[in-house]
Structure formats: C-alpha cells, structure tokens
Structure 1
Amino acid sequence: MRRDVFQGIADPTRREILNMIAHKSLNVNSVAANFEVSRTAIYKHIKILTECGLVVVRQQGRERYCEARLKKLSKVSDWVERYRSLWEAKFDSLEAYLGKLEAKKKKYGKKKS
C-alpha cells in the first residue's frame, strides 16, 4: 500500500521519528527507546513512514536501521506555499488595523491639562 506524504507527517510521533533520523540513521531499538509507547507501536509508525516513502529501513547484520528520505516533504512545502500569499495578505490587513487602533488610542487617550 502506498500512502500519501501528508499521512506520514499527520502524527506527532512520526514527525518526531523523522526529526530523529533526519541527519543520522538509527536502529529501530534506538528510535523506540525515545518514546513511551510500545516497540510494536513504533514499528507501525515506521511502517507507515516507509509506505509514504519518507523512510527506508535497511538491514545491517541483525540490526534494522531507519534512514530518512526527506525529498518527498517538498510536496508539503509546495502545498503550503500556495496559501502563503493569502495568509500574508491577512496578516498585512491585521497589522494595518492594529496600527489604526493604536493611533486612535494615542489621539484620544491623552488627557488634556
């Protein structure tokens, strides 16, 4: 089953696994040791990340190592980028509104002597 990259990053545990192995491959036991869930649960998360194409598990002797394949995260970046101008416009509008409120506060907030 091939999953979508968005499914891979939907869970905070999977995001943390990706964060852990982003710069250095780790064996599955090392990954599991960092979480308070069962090793079986971590294996399931790694399986989903593998199905999404974000992780490759390779056998080295008796150990299984997880390696991140982060190139597919560009799909997430591309999706977010489509909405950047919309959010920037809303933040610019909010900034202008707050500026007007501050100006009114200064104008009418001063007490006359």
Structure 2
Amino acid sequence: MKKKDKNDLARLRRLAPNLFRTLREDEERERSYRAQIEFTSYVELISTISDLLKLCITEACYDAEGASPYIKRPLNIQGVLELILQLLPVDEAELLDEIRPFLKQKEKNSTT
C-alpha cells in the first residue's frame, strides 16, 4: 500500500467514529444497524405514526411519484409500514390496560 493511501486510510479511521453517528452497529444481529429517533412525548410519537400512515394511504390511492418533480422513485410502502410497526408503543399500551382498572378503582373510592 502506498504511503498516501496509508495516510488517507488512517485519516478515515480517525474521522469515522465521530462522523458515522446515525447508524450504529446492532450488537444483537449480524450485519444490521440501528438508528435512534427521538421524540419529545408520546403525543409526538403518535402524531408521527399517524402522518406516516396518511403518507401510505395517499401513496396507495394516488401516485406520489407523479405529484412532485422531487420524488424520483416510488415510495417504499412496505418499508414505511415496517417502520410504523417498530414505532408503535405496544408495551406502553399494555401498561395503560393495567393502569386503567387501578385508576377506575381510585376514582370509585374517592367518590364514596
């Protein structure tokens, strides 16, 4: 390997940890990466899920590719729907089901 190539490779290795931040290697699955999405609240999360579903509905009913000159390829509906599945707060929904009877009982006790 030439000296210039070695220097370029060393430079890339120094830069990579600081610049490759969006995708992180998934330690549980080989050849897989994770990206973190941050939300300020469950309301924002649910709103985002709703918007993604509306996007899929719109694409299913109308051709989004023909709607804008900036859309160069067809929308990957399957990919968006898979993302939605990952975003759904299923565990939190189970917790809400557990909390509801408790709150109902507390409400009943406070009125008597």
- In the superposition, the TM-score normalised over structure 1's length comes to 0.37
- Higher strand proportion (structure 1 or 2): 1
Q: Which has the higher contact order (CA 8 A, sep 6+)?
A: 1
- In the superposition, the TM-score normalised over structure 2's length comes to 0.37
